Amino acid sequence: GAGVSQTPSNKVTEKGKYVELRCDPISGHTALYWYRQSLGQGPEFLIYFQGTGAADDSGLPNDRFFAVRPEGSVSTLKIQRTERGDSAVYLCASSPGRTPHTDTQYFGPGTRLTVL
């Protein structure tokens, strides 16, 4: 079946611009995660949704970052006033959500964001 998809695959923007990154999880998965991966690092947790609500957004670095999941499926990560330091690969993952502690997370291919 279809896996997690993310669009766009690449995004180049200028400093100060606004960007939106989209994640389509596996159908039926109630848990959705956003991570950021910088070069040479592992994925860094940003936010976790259970259904429509953000169950844990403690990883969002500042108030320029915001994520929504209005209908409990597709999620959008929004970054305002982008900075060069926001350049990274943004990963989305989903899991069935019944037992998030132990569920396998299924990752998408990521969106590579470059802020010039």
Q: Does 67 bind other proteins (CB under 8 A)?
A: no
Minimal CA–CA distance to 67: which of 45, 83, 42, 85? 45
Applying CB under 8 A, does 51 fall inside the site for other proteins?
no
Rounded Cα gap, residues 82 and 17, in angstroms = 5
Our finding on whether 25 is near other proteins (CB under 8 A) is no
- Count, residues near other proteins per rule CB under 8 A: 29
Q: Between 82 and 90, name the residue whose CB sits nearer to other proteins.
A: 90
Query: Applying CB under 8 A, which of residues 51, 72, 96, 109 lies at the interface with other proteins?
Result: 109
Residues 83-102: x where in contact with other proteins by CB under 8 A, - otherwise, as a string: --------x-x------xxx
DSSP state of 96: -
Other Cβ atoms less than 10 A from the Cβ of 101: the count is 4
**Of 13, 45, 51, 87, the one binding other proteins by CB under 8 A:** 45
- Using only the alpha carbons of the chain, give its radius of gyration: 13
Alpha carbon distance 19, 35 (integer Å): 16
Return d(Cα 11, Cα 67) in angstroms, integer.
17
Binding site for other proteins (CB under 8 A): 3-4, 31, 33, 35, 40-45, 48, 50, 55-56, 58-59, 91, 93, 100-102, 104-110
